Amino acid sequence: MNNKKYDKGLVWFRRDLRSDDNAALYHALKACHQVFCVFVFDQAILDALPRADRRVEFIRESLVDLDRQLAELGRHHGVSHAGLIVQHGRAGEVVPALAQKLAAEAVFASHDDEPGSLARDARVGEALAGDGKAFHSFKDHVIFERREVLTLGGTPYSVFTPYKNAWLRKVDDFYLRPYPVQNHGAALATLPADCRTGVPALEDIGFAPTNLAELKISTGSPGGSRLFDDFMARIDQYHATRDFPAVKGPSYLGVHLRFGTVSIRRLAGTALRLQRQGSPGAAVWLSELIWRDFYAQILSNFPHVAERSFKPAYDAIAWEQGPAAEGLFRAWCEGRTGYPLVDAAMAQINQTGYMHNRLRMVTASFLVKDLGLDWRWGERYFAEKLNDFDLSANNGGWQWAASSGCDAQPYFRIFNPTSQSEKFDADGKFIRKYLPQLAGLTGTDLHSPWLAKPVALAAAGVRLGENYPLPVVQHDEARALTLQRYAPVKKTAAE
């Protein structure tokens, strides 16, 4: 019995760069006799990026593997020359034009709830509708999205713990079940000859290679699977190791989650199963995955957070401005604050595109509450540098640090960068890796070199103000200024 709705369809890959357990691909294969697949290097996004960008290279390498996956799936079902069409242009124009060229009656994609992406998808949907074509999109990037988890009053959650409890009550096998794409590969279409161009080189889209290979950042679904398998051997200790940047504690799957080279259903399902078996590490890691869902639904239900504070009162804070503030910001960006853990963390993100989660909190707190700078400055810098940049999580993290977000730390909680250093990098292994000029210092001198005795500095070859900076601010003084800066918020809360 033939119950397929469309003759031809087009799957538009975006942040779901895998063939296995892919919602949009599954629904397209089920609904169409022939399915084409496309990825667009979107100039509307690329034009704003530096010409050497690890994320673009990660995507490019992952597309090579996705093309291979689709070709293999097609061959398994007797379809020759299946694969991925890769185009370079403005997605809002390219996708409708390609659908028209291929005579696709519908376009299938996975949800992307970032405000700019929603606007783009609305334009694409309108263009397709004008040609008599349909646009279907599906949840794939999170377990629960939008308004799937609500309070008893029918409103979105803005506090994490009750959201997590509701998430855990709601989740079951239905939400974690993988989409059996492999069973339906016979619907993949043979690509027209002029579409068999493969994946363009970086240079062909105006980009240069980065140090991605040197950093041994694994790409594509195979790379994500290897990282996940490696993490499974360590997950039971995640709760004990995750806060120490010199220890191999995290999963390092952030960039794979960002671009969908791993399935969130596979990850969350595994973590939930291990939590139920009593693994404390899996329970904590599952909480981190739930935080990801939480911030995604915050952005979806409160889109103003992309530009302004979640708590409007915090928009009244007077941040430092002018040349001196801009100089402090450059010192923070370049790892020249004089606080070793902060500077080592900034060296890590600048050199690798990765920053350990504990250090994201430390550096964010330092920017906002030691330097008195607008959290949006730091948010934009991380957006440019992080391999795993995701608007909802990045925004949520920065607003948490600035105390302006939902369920954020209180404004009077201000991380001490020195005590954080002594607690989470006690032996200084992380600092020495990224600040080799301080490698000769030991003990407390490494964490606060400005307090070290001249003889210790000389023996270590450290010349403060020359090969390592003096602190740009004094933490105790900065803390007092921050409490004054947040006074309007305290007054508003008391009224």
Positions marked active-site: 288, 291, 319, 357, 375, 398
CB 23 within 8 A of CB 138: yes
Q: What is the three-class DSSP state of 136?
A: strand
Compute the distance between CA of residue 112 and CA of residue 185 in angstroms, rounded to an integer. 25
Compute the distance between CA of residue 458 and CA of residue 471 in angstroms, rounded to an integer. 18
Compute the distance between CA of residue 267 and CA of residue 228 in angstroms, rounded to an integer. 8
Rounded to 5°, the CA angle 369-246-264 comes to 85
| Nearest Cα residue to 19 out of 63, 77, 79, 81 | 63
> SS in 3 state form for 187-220?
HECCCCHHHCCCCCCHHHHCCCCCCCCCCCCCCH
Residue 33 belongs to what H/E stretch?
strand 32-42
Q: Are strands 106-110 and 85-89 parallel, antiparallel or unpaired?
A: unpaired
Q: How many CB atoms lie within 10 A of CB 152?
A: 7
Compute the distance between CA of residue 376 and CA of residue 329 in angstroms, rounded to an integer. 12
CB 404 within 8 A of CB 375: yes
CB 65 within 8 A of CB 173: no
The amino acid that residue 53 corresponds to is D
The amino acid that residue 348 corresponds to is Q
Q: What is the three-class DSSP state of 11?
A: strand
Tell me the CA end-to-end span of the chain in Å, nearest whole number.
Answer: 68
Compute the distance between CA of residue 183 and CA of residue 230 in angstroms, rounded to an integer. 28
Rounded to 5°, the CA angle 413-338-394 comes to 50
CB 366 within 8 A of CB 331: no
